[in-house]
Each structure stands twice: as structure tokens, then as C-alpha cells.
Structure 1
Amino acid sequence: MLEQYQAHFRALGYDAPTAIQAAVYGPMTSDQNVLGLAPTGSGKTVAFTLPALANLLPGDGIQLIVLEPSQELAIQTSRVMRDWAKLLDLKVAALTGGANVKRQTERLKKRPEVIVGTPGRILNLIQDHKLKMHLISHIIVDEADDLLTGDTLETVRAVAQAAPADGQLSFFSATDTAILSDLPKWFGQEVTRIDVRQQDQTQGVVRHGLLQVGMGKRDQMLKRLLAQPNFRALVFFKQTNTLKHTATKFYHDHVSATSLTSDLRQVQREKALQDFRQGRIRLLLTTDVAARGLDIAKLPAVINYDLPSTVNEYVHRAGRTGRMGEPGQVISLGDDHDLRDLKKLLRDTDYQLVPVYFQGKQLTTERPTVSATPAVRAEGRPATRPAGTVATQPAHEHLTPAVKAGKQVPATTAKAQVPAVAAAPVSKKSKKKHKNRHNKNKGMRKKWRDRDAQHDQA
């Protein structure tokens, strides 16, 4: 390892390189193509940064391209690499989708040695002849199990084919997939496989809890979890619509939460992440866009609002907590059927899934005991009393006055004894009107009788 690296390692407080950092340094500095497999949070970014930068020449133009699956991860990686690159007088530029293309083109004119970006934006700049590839000596594909699937596989291959044929290729991932065994077939070069997942000891103790909650009560459960002191969590959703509905509800209820979705502008996404990292926001609602590689220091918990459908999804979500020796907690929400399916999905993994309960403003593995006090319904009426229980209210409280006095009253009579609702009193005004109307009619009748009498006399 270079002397500059060793001094910076000590300055950052690291005692020794992690397993993946030690394993790939030699092969990568000797220009070998490598596939590095290591758990989440094991320092893979630094693992490929140190040897890749050591082979670059300052001021010689763009020589290294690092491909990342998301804007957030590309920006995070560029910051990590820039921290080490300045030791060697190297420049790093980030080129991501969603950002201003003209500004990115201006950055390329400054001839940085390292480009970190998303495959789609990198390929567009290559096709527009804005990004020259003739000096590229090394391409790194981070989160390879994700990038080498679907349409992005062809995009990554197109970027690799635009570089010189003798260029170096490196792939890094936390999980193994079938395509990672077929890399020579897809890229035409032999790749050395380096797997340290069993030897790595960087991950802290992470508990994996199953919290039984119906879909309609999950928002309320998130609020209750916030009652725990110093609680923060990355909350994963499947559907963006569900996420936005919860985010809107939390906004109106003044809950400390914000969202991170792919349809937000880059500035908004960066602000959401920054607020969450610095503790100004306690819940970050996101989809799997944030499950890949994001490094959030000392994150206490990850919550699966919607359960993952694959083992790899669970691995990457859970990998956001318990990083670099810190403790963590994964909380999966679902009904009884959902949680059974999750257990089946993860039965071949080493995860120990344990039922957890929320009581007394904290999570516990102890099943809550049933209270002896009769339950009260939300409407305020006492719930139906279980068989074999005794009413605590005196029986005579339900009897009519006649029964209390010891008189035998027929059922129909007793029923009639229930006090009727008193009729509304008639106002004086209405009585006066009625009296006046009656007197007026009485006077008119007398007048008619007198007139008839006079007529008869005539």
C-alpha cells in the first residue's frame, strides 16, 4: 500500500484494511480482472478505490470509469474517491442521470482522471462524442449483481466495448448471482473471483424482527416506533403510490419524515439524504433505489414496510444497518401470512427471524400478556363479556324502580316503566297565539248569530 494511503488510514482511525480491501489490492494493482464478493458495509468502495487510483497518471486525461446503479450511490462513491484522489493529485467527476448535461460537459473539459456515473448517462455522453474513451485503462462495475441485469446489462457492455480491448475490468457485489459466473462469456475476458463473505468480520450484531401489523395500521406503527429515544430508520416500500400516500399523511401530521424516490430532482434527493444523515429527519421513506450501497453512518434500524420478494432484496436492505461493527435492527412489517412467506424465503440463509412486539414504548421479544380488565370498544361501549366471567356492576342497577321496591311487575308493564322522553314544553307565545285565534273565532260566531237574529226580526 502507498505511503500516502497508510497515513490517511491512520488519520481516519482505521486499524487495518478489511478482508476485501486486503484481498483485491494486489491483483488489481497488477492489472488483473477481478470479481470481488464481500458483505454489505465491508468497505468495498475503498477496496477498489485504492488500487485503481494507484495505477493512474495525474494530468493524463480520463483513465478510469466507475459505474454505479443510482445517482445517490454515484455521488457517494465520487466523494469517497475524491477524498483519496487528492492525495495523489487526481481529479474525480460525477456524471449522473437527472443532472444538467451542459454542466457535466464542462467538467469533462477539465480532464479529470476519474469518472463516476450511471451507465445510461455515461453511454449517452460517449455516443454524443463528449466523453472520449481512447485513454480508458480500467472500468469498475459496482453493485454488479444489479447492473448486470435487464437492459442495464447491454448498457454496461456497450460502455465496456467503447473502451480499448486490453482495458482492465473489475466487478464488485455483496451477493452472488448466476451472471457473475458467466462474466467471461459476456465481456470476453477471464476474471479472477475473490470471495471473502465468510471471512469478513466487519458487520455488527443485527437483529431481525418480525412485527405482525396489518396494512391499515402500519403508518400508526411507524409513529409508535418513533416514541423510542434516538430512533431513526430507513423505511422501504414496494410501490411509489403507497410511499407518497404515507409521506403526505406524515406531512400533515407533522411526523419527522421525508421521501426519497426516483422521480425527485437530484437536488431534492441530495437534501433528503443529507437531512436524514444529520438527524434532522428521523424516517426516510424510499423504494429499493436506496437499498444499494448507501452508507448511512450508525443507522439504528431498517424497516420493511412492504416485504422484499427476493433474498437479494432483503440482503441489500438489511445491509444499510449494522455497518462497520455498529449494532442494528431490521423490522419487517406484515400480517401472519406475509411473515410466514418471508420465513420461507429466507430459510436457507443465516438470518435468525424472531417475532417482536411493541409495548411500553419499546420493542421486545416477549409476548404481551392479556389484560384481566374487560376490553373497551372504540365507541366507548363495553365489549362482549367472555363466557364464565361475572359482571362487576350490581344487578339491581339494571332493574326498574318497581322491581327495586320488591313489586312483581309483568314484563310488558316493566317495559312501559322506562321513563319516556318528556315532550318539549309549549312556549307562551304559541299558547297566546292559540288563545287569540280561538277568541277571534268565538267573536266572529257571535257576530254572525246577532246578524242572523236581526235578519229574522226584519
Structure 2
Amino acid sequence: MTENQKVIKDLKPFIGQIWEKAGFSTPTTIQSYAIPAIVENKDVIAQSPTGTGKTLAYLLPALNKIDPEQKSVQAVILASSQELVMQILNELQKWSEGSGIRGASFIGGANVKRQLEKLKKHPHIAVGTPGRILELIKQKKLKMHEVKTVVLDEGDQLLVPEHISTIKEIIKSTLSDRQVVLFSATLPEQTVNMAKELTNDAEIITVEKDETIVAGKVDHIYFMSEQRDKIRLIEKISRLDKVKGLVFVKDIGSLTVLVEKLQYNQIKVSPLHSDMNKMDRQKSIREFRDGKTPMLIATDVAARGLDIEGISHVVHYDFPKDINQYVHRSGRTGRFGASGMVISLVTEREERELKTFAKKLGMDVEMKRFHGESIVDPHVKFSGKR
């Protein structure tokens, strides 16, 4: 048995059984570093690229620590969006099967009464958005004195001005011997500094590239376009063969206009943004996941942490605000050995920025154009002769 495989063997037997049933062999790099550190009760600040198994890196050791005989909440997992909360809860339910460990979700915008009913069932792990979790703590409905672990998932989205005071209050409501762990795909310096204030002598784990994961071949291409003409390119991309495209738009206003125009032109798309209610958001994701719509048009906030298998294309409709955002968005395709394509729709100014990103990331980015329904090189000439 390798040192890596021992990481899972050292956890409770039910975890190892589910690990084998899931067909996993070796833990990913982030899992092999983070799991032992969390099991040893260290605070952890961890960075690892999208798609490298971060959720299990904190979830498995958290499950390992739970005493199912107790009726109290023993771990709290915080995430910035409803979608991410539900995704984490799904994983939690899958990995706690047969263990007697219960999890429950608590999200802003959901019916408070129903969420209080969930607490009466004595979950061992609470997964939620910061605002709602703090609200339940202040109402003395969610008791934090037994909480041993607080997890911040996608930490760089939580340690921002709008959430930071809420996060601090949640952590302060636990006893001083609690463990705080933070995971993110990108960790800007200011996030690390804030995380250090919330943790106690944290172990910092940074994984730049995971060699244990077979990276898919991802092509990075771009089309030149004026802003007003980008919609035509989106229409053409939506007609590509077997397309399952995630399109990023900068804000809700731009997204609404784009979706309305596409639907007016009979293009099937699903919108996703933070002002939509829970049912509509779930419907959009389900229709996209099931292939009923070829494209999900999303804002960055709503798509954060979204894990949908088989995304063939990521499209930067609105150019990313920085290189981190480019990496985050682009990481949604080419996961677990699948191939994918990242398409940027750029103006002349944005083309210069894209080339700067490409240079910093050490990747090739090629200009393309459409010929009919096909993507071709810009210099390819087509003869009208038959």
C-alpha cells in the first residue's frame, strides 16, 4: 500500500468502503496533503486548482471526526452560493451512507420554518450560506458549543467585505479549541492574510498542478468581435455539434438582456444568476445538466463551485476582470481527462489582455472564425468552385 492510499485506510471503515465502491484508487494531491493535516486537528489554508477533489479533501476528515451517537451539530461548512451548498450536501449524503451521520442545508431565501424543522432532526453537519447560518445562531436555534470544525469552501469568495464580519461572528460563536479549514482554487494574498487571522498557526497547502489527475486536452481560442455582435457568435456556438456550453456574463443586467435576445431568436438557453429564486435556479441547472438546453448563461457568483459533468465549452462572453477569474471559469471544462474548449469573445483591447493572460499562464491561444457552422483558422480561404 502506498503512503497516499494509507491516507484513506486510516479513516473510519465506512469511508474506505464508499471510496472503493466509488472506484477511486489513489487520493489526489490535495487530498493526500490535507486529509492527514485535518485528521491531526490542524487548522488548514489550502489552495488547489478546480477539479482536483477539494470537497473530499475536507469532507472525509470532517466525517471521520463526527460522533453519530451525539445529537449536536459538530461541523459547519460555509459556502457562498446556494448551488455550492446543495452540491456539498449531495456529496455529504453520498459519503455518509450507512454511518448514521446526518447533514442538512441552510440557505438564505429558503423558508425559515422548514429550516428550523431540519434542526429538530439533529443534523451532525450543517452546510449553509453565511447569512442564514449566523441568523440561526443569533436566534439560538443553531448551537455552536459542540462544533469542532468550521470549513470555508471557496474561501476567496467568503473572505470578502460583504461576508467577512459574518464569518468572523460564526467562528467566534464556537469554542476556542475548534478547527478552521479553508479551501479555494485561487488564494490572493489578502485572502491568505485574512485567513491567518481566523485560524491558529494554520498549515498552508498549495497545489499548483495535480499530477495525479489526467488533465484533459483543453484548447483556448478566441473570436474578434465588437460587443454588440457577440450575440451572433453565441448563436453559432449554440449550434455546434454536441455542445454543452457554460457562458459567463459580467452582471445580471447584461445576462437578462442576452437571454431575452437569444430566446427571441429561438435559441434554447438556461439562465443562472443570484436574484433567481431557488426553484428557478435548480430548474435551469437541471435542464442544462440533462442536455435539454445546450447552454447555461451564468454570472460568476452563481456559477461559483458549480460542478456539472461534461461541459464541452466555456465561453467568456464578457471578458474576465482578471487572470484568476479566467482560470476559475476556464477550469469548468476539460475535467477528469475529458477534452474541452475555452472560447473568448474579445474586442481589440480585450485581445491584448487575453494574450497577456496566455503568456502568464504559459498557454497557446489561437484566433478563429466561423465558416458556416464550423470553426476555422482565420487565414483559411474557401473557394466557391465545386
TM-score, normalised with respect to structure 1: 0.78
Partner of 1:315: 327
2:40 aligned with 1:35: no
Partner of 2:207: 196
> How far off its partner does 1:369 sit?
2.3
Give the counterpart of 1:266 among 265, 275, 278.
278
Partner of 2:3: none
Give the counterpart of 2:113 among 79, 87, 102.
102
2:295 aligned with 1:283: yes
Alpha carbons 2:145, 2:175 under 8 Å: kept? yes
2:383 and 2:318 map into 1 onto residues whose CA distance is 31
When structure 1 is superposed on structure 2, of 62-71 and 291-300 the one drifting more is 291-300
Root-mean-square deviation over aligned CA pairs: 1.8
Alpha carbons 2:252, 2:273 under 8 Å: kept? yes
2:346 aligned with 1:334: yes
Give the counterpart of 2:250 among 231, 238, 244.
238
Partner of 1:361: 373
1:44-443 paired onto structure 2 within 5 Å: 44-60=54-70, 61-183=72-194, 185-187=196-198, 189-202=200-213, 203-365=215-377, 367-369=379-381
> How far off its partner does 1:363 sit?
2.1
Partner of 1:4: 14
2:258 and 2:84 map into 1 onto residues whose CA distance is 25
> How far off its partner does 1:42 sit?
0.7
**Paired residue type of 1:129:** K
1:137 and 1:251 map into 2 onto residues whose CA distance is 49
| 1:289-341 alpha-carbon deviations (Å, 9 max, x no partner) | 23421111011011011001111111111111111221111100022222112
1:283 and 1:360 map into 2 onto residues whose CA distance is 20
When structure 1 is superposed on structure 2, of 192-201 and 231-240 the one drifting more is 192-201
**Paired residue type of 2:87:** Q
**Paired residue type of 1:4:** F
**Paired residue type of 1:356:** K
| 1:127-176 alpha-carbon deviations (Å, 9 max, x no partner) | 12121111111000011112112121221111101111110010101112
Q: 1:272 to 1:40 in 2, by over 3 A?
A: same
**Paired residue type of 2:75:** L
1:200 and 1:35 map into 2 onto residues whose CA distance is 21
Q: 1:287 to 1:200 in 2, by over 3 A?
A: same
> How far off its partner does 1:184 sit?
6.4
| 1:260-293 alpha-carbon deviations (Å, 9 max, x no partner) | 1111110110111111111111111111123421
- Report the secondary structure of 1:86's partner residue: coil
> How far off its partner does 1:362 sit?
2.3
| Identity in percent | 33
1:22 and 1:208 map into 2 onto residues whose CA distance is 30
- Report the secondary structure of 2:97's partner residue: helix
- Report the secondary structure of 1:262's partner residue: coil
- Report the secondary structure of 1:49's partner residue: helix
Q: 1:342 to 1:184 in 2, by over 3 A?
A: closer
Q: If you compute each CA radius of gyration, which structure gives the higher value, 1 or 2?
A: 1
Alpha carbons 1:18, 1:42 under 8 Å: kept? yes
1:25 and 1:287 map into 2 onto residues whose CA distance is 32
TM-score, normalised with respect to structure 2: 0.92
- Report the secondary structure of 1:228's partner residue: coil
- Report the secondary structure of 2:246's partner residue: strand
Partner of 1:434: none
Instruction: After the TM superposition, list the runs of 4 or more consecutive aligned residues in structure 1 that deviate by more than 4 angstroms.
Output: 370-373
> How far off its partner does 1:88 sit?
1.8
2:366 and 2:41 map into 1 onto residues whose CA distance is 46
> Aligned residue pairs: how many?
373
1:146 and 1:331 map into 2 onto residues whose CA distance is 24
2:206 and 2:167 map into 1 onto residues whose CA distance is 22
Partner of 2:5: none
- Report the secondary structure of 1:315's partner residue: helix
2:164 and 2:73 map into 1 onto residues whose CA distance is 23
**Paired residue type of 2:162:** D
1:24 and 1:286 map into 2 onto residues whose CA distance is 31
Alpha carbons 1:59, 1:113 under 8 Å: kept? no
> How far off its partner does 1:345 sit?
4.4
> How far off its partner does 1:346 sit?
4.9
2:145 and 2:298 map into 1 onto residues whose CA distance is 39
> How far off its partner does 1:357 sit?
2.0
Alpha carbons 2:250, 2:299 under 8 Å: kept? yes
- Report the secondary structure of 2:361's partner residue: coil
| Structure with more relative contact order (C-alpha pairs < 8 Å, separation 6 or more) | 2
